[in-house]
Amino acid sequence: MAIAFDDEVRHVLDEIVTSMDVIAARIREADGKFDVYAWAKRVPVAYEITFIGPDGQLKSTTLASDPTAIDLSDRDQYRMHLDPQFSGQTYIGHPIVGRVSHRQLIPVSRRIDGADGKFLGVLVFLIQPGSLTALHRHMDLSTRTVIVLTGLDDVVRARFAPDSPDGTTGIGLSLAGDPRPSTMKALEGFYTRQGRVDGIPRIFAYRRVSGYPLVVTVGVDLDYALGQANKHAGQMVSQAALATIILIALMAYLVREIGLRTAHQIALAESEARLQVANSELRISRDRAEAASEAKSMFLANMSHELRTPLNAIIGFAQVLASEMYGPASDPRYREYAQYIETSGTHLMAIIGSILDIAKIESGSMELKINIVALSKIMETAVLAIRSAVLENHIKLEINGPVPLPSVKADPEKLLQILINLLSNSVKFTPADGSIVVDIRTDTNGLVIISVIDTGIGMKPAEISIALQPFAQIENTFTKTKSGTGLGLPIANKLAELHGSALSIESVPAVGTTVRFHLPVVEQNNSFGAISAYSNSPNDPGSSPSNSATPRCMRNGLMTSDVDSKTRNTRITCRTCGFVIETTGTGLDRRLHGNAQDMSSTCPRRFGRAPSEAEPFDCPDLIEAVELSERDGPWADVLLHTVTVRGNRERDPSAKHNTRCH
């Protein structure tokens, strides 16, 4: 309701301001000599208009053509405009009684200045309160409803009520102290109080008139408003109670239905879950059966070749021996065939052993005999086992690790099998002139990390999981030319798992493969492998030379060996100081090159096998182990077992050794 009255009052004031703009323009044109009465005859207006001169005297009015001179200089509507800063602003003053019309009027005034800024006077529109709004006469208001128009100074400009339809009752009354603390700031609000005129308690809603310093306030009888509200509240409570009862009944029905459907859904879900479990078990059983069938087929396909080849060799050579095909048994070819039979039998035994090992591992009957193992001994044996394959394929083998190699906790036989399987796998799938590196290092967690790194054909990520499955083999052009059961890598992985580790495989096709596993460290070992020693003097095999014959920088050196492809002679060289050992097929020549020292002697000892006991070498800080082949002679069968630096642990804990077998 306050919004409606606000709109009507604003529209009335907008019309007045527009009319004032028109008249003000005429006054400026006439330089203050303007007859309002004559102008009103031509343009009828609904309000009383007065023009006060700059001296405060009445100059013209719409009430008379020749008005009596009246001094209006004491009126607020004149005095407010004496300040030039108020120029152009509209002032709505307190209600007054017109000295000409003798009626209650609301003055709306504006200062008029000439084009040169000269004060020409004040134009005043005198409005009857009832002219501001007629809305109350067209609305069905209660007997105690009141509409009040006040200024921002809280003085009543008009008050409309059933007992005051013209709006004059109570005008000029100050409402200062009314509980409207935010009237000057807020655009609208509500408050409750007793009426200042009639004392009736009302609830008031107020709203500022946009663009004008006025506030429209509408008050409704509090008892009437609350009575209507209570009536509506009672109706709402009754309706809410009825709706609540209906909702409760509906909820009870829904809860019952939901419970029944939930129980049904649970039963269906449980049944579906049981079916899914059964289907999953059936799928697993089917997959296992298919995998077992496929594995059996692959196993039979592989075994038919792997078993027949050595068996055919054994049977064929045995028949040759039994029939003495080449004459008496003294023929040397019989000895050669007997060696072939031994080799084939050993190969056949290895195949059967691998099958039995994987069967024991998968059945859980494989037991470890954990002991403290010297890693150097295990590495030496593993290298000896693959030596012939390394030489045959012209593969470079390097063993990198700390000096000395540590001891570990492991089953020695199973650890040896892991290393042999990994090295054999690398040799098998590394092309000629490739390289294999065994890297041994310790970490801060007390573990030895053993890595076998080759430059072989490599694998794709999907092929790694295939390679770890028993009897599975990767199909490609290179592997088709290689025989095998497909058990080497799976057995090594299972044995590593029994040791609390597992094989970590990184592989890139055409680049190579790295396989790692770890073991717990126990203590440092003192040497790498078995030690084959040679004396310094041909006359005294057991003697050892003075330390002065050995360059001191050798103690921190790295050893390499190079084979002459024509003479098959080998030079073992210290990278740091140039210490050189040269060998031939008939013996060992040891020459020391470095620090301008040169000494040469021929070793009187020639071994068909490695010495059973370790003998001290001439340098107290360097131990070399060399095994010479009595039968073949050439350096191709010479294996450098050990290169180790003694006494350096305190001076250089990071000392490394680098052993290469060609």
**Strand ranges of the sheet holding 146-151, from the earlier edge strand across to the other edge:** 156-160, 146-151, 214-221, 201-208, 188-194
Residue whose structure tokens are 């700059």: 54
Judgement on whether residues 519 and 552 belong to the same structural domain of the protein: no
Domain range for 404 is: 371-524
Q: In this predicted structure, which of 146-155, 259-268, 406-415 has the lowest mean pLDDT?
A: 146-155
Q: In this predicted structure, which of 145-149, 282-286, 566-570 has the lowest mean pLDDT?
A: 566-570
State the pLDDT at residue 581. Answer: 55
Q: In this predicted structure, which of 18-27, 306-315, 573-582, 589-598 has the lowest mean pLDDT?
A: 589-598
In the structure, what pLDDT confidence band is assigned to residue 597 with cuts at 50, 70 and 90? Answer: very low
Sign of the dihedral through C-alpha 585, 586, 588, 590: negative
- Digit-coded pLDDT (tens) for 197-221: 777 777 788 888 888 888 888 887 7
Judgement on whether residues 383 and 519 belong to the same structural domain of the protein: yes
Q: In this predicted structure, which of 33-42, 135-144, 643-652 has the lowest mean pLDDT?
A: 643-652
- Digit-coded pLDDT (tens) for 546-564: 333 333 333 333 444 455 5
Most confident of 9-18, 424-433, 572-581: 424-433
Residue 235 lies in a domain: no
- Digit-coded pLDDT (tens) for 349-368: 777 777 777 777 777 778 88
> What are the backbone angles phi and psi of residue 289, rounded to the nearest 5°?
-65, -45
| Percent of all residues in the chain with a pLDDT value above 90, rounded to a whole number | 17
State the pLDDT at residue 26. Answer: 86
Judgement on whether residues 402 and 459 belong to the same structural domain of the protein: yes
Q: Do the beta carbons of residue 559 and residue 440 sit within 8 Å?
A: no
State the pLDDT at residue 518. Answer: 94
Is 90 exceeded by the pLDDT of residue 388?
A: no
Q: In this predicted structure, which of 89-103, 318-332, 430-444 has the lowest mean pLDDT?
A: 318-332
Residue 315 lies in a domain: no
Q: Once rounded to an integer, what is the mean pLDDT over residues 485-507?
A: 88
- Digit-coded pLDDT (tens) for 234-243: 788 888 999 9
Interior angle at CA 649, CA 647 and CA 654, nearest 5: 135
State the pLDDT at residue 569. Answer: 57
Q: In this predicted structure, which of 97-111, 142-156, 322-336, 467-481 has the lowest mean pLDDT?
A: 467-481
In sequence order, which residues have a C-beta less than 8 Å from that of residue 280 and are 6 or more positions away?
none
Judgement on whether residues 520 and 592 belong to the same structural domain of the protein: no
Q: Strand pairing partners for 192?
A: 203
State the pLDDT at residue 74. Answer: 86
DSSP 201: E
Judgement on whether residues 573 and 514 belong to the same structural domain of the protein: no
Residue 294 lies in a domain: no
Residue 555 lies in a domain: yes
- Is the bond preceding 213 in cis, omega lying within 30 degrees of 0? no
Element of type H or E holding 295: helix 222-323
C-alpha span between 607 and 348 (Å, rounded): 30
C-alpha span between 230 and 236 (Å, rounded): 9
Interior angle at CA 440, CA 435 and CA 441, nearest 5: 140
3-state secondary structure of 636: helix
Q: What domain count does the chain have? A: 3
Pick the closest to residue 12 from 132, 108, 123, 94 (CA basis).
Answer: 132
State the pLDDT at residue 205. Answer: 81
Is 60 exceeded by the pLDDT of residue 633?
A: no
Residue 598 lies in a domain: yes
Q: Do the beta carbons of residue 533 and residue 614 sit within 8 Å?
A: yes
Residue 222 lies in a domain: no
Judgement on whether residues 495 and 555 belong to the same structural domain of the protein: no
In the structure, what pLDDT confidence band is assigned to residue 585 with cuts at 50, 70 and 90? Answer: very low
Judgement on whether residues 518 and 638 belong to the same structural domain of the protein: no
C-alpha span between 621 and 642 (Å, rounded): 13
Q: Quote the mean pLDDT of the chain.
A: 72
3-state secondary structure of 499: coil
Residue 100 tokens read as 């000409």
Residue 178 lies in a domain: no
- Flag whether the pTM goes above 0.75: no
Judgement on whether residues 469 and 588 belong to the same structural domain of the protein: no
Domain boundary among 127, 159, 189: 127
Q: β-strand 406-410 against 371-374: which pairing, if any?
A: antiparallel
54 versus 350: which is more confidently predicted? Answer: 54
Pick the closest to residue 422 from 362, 373, 365, 495 (CA basis).
Answer: 495
Residue 456 tokens read as 């072989």
| Percent of all residues in the chain with a pLDDT value above 70, rounded to a whole number | 66
| CATH code of the domain in which 6 resides | 3.30.450.20
State the pLDDT at residue 141. Answer: 61
C-alpha span between 572 and 508 (Å, rounded): 33
Is 50 exceeded by the pLDDT of residue 302?
A: yes
Judgement on whether residues 473 and 438 belong to the same structural domain of the protein: yes
Pick the closest to residue 576 from 661, 658, 662 (CA basis).
Answer: 658
Interior angle at CA 447, CA 441 and CA 451, nearest 5: 45
Sign of the dihedral through C-alpha 131, 133, 134, 137: negative
State the pLDDT at residue 329. Answer: 66
Judgement on whether residues 485 and 563 belong to the same structural domain of the protein: no
Residue 114 tokens read as 């000439």
State the pLDDT at residue 435. Answer: 94
| CATH code of the domain in which 395 resides | 3.30.565.10
Q: Do the beta carbons of residue 483 and residue 477 sit within 8 Å?
A: no
State the pLDDT at residue 361. Answer: 77
Judgement on whether residues 27 and 112 belong to the same structural domain of the protein: yes
Judgement on whether residues 566 and 478 belong to the same structural domain of the protein: no
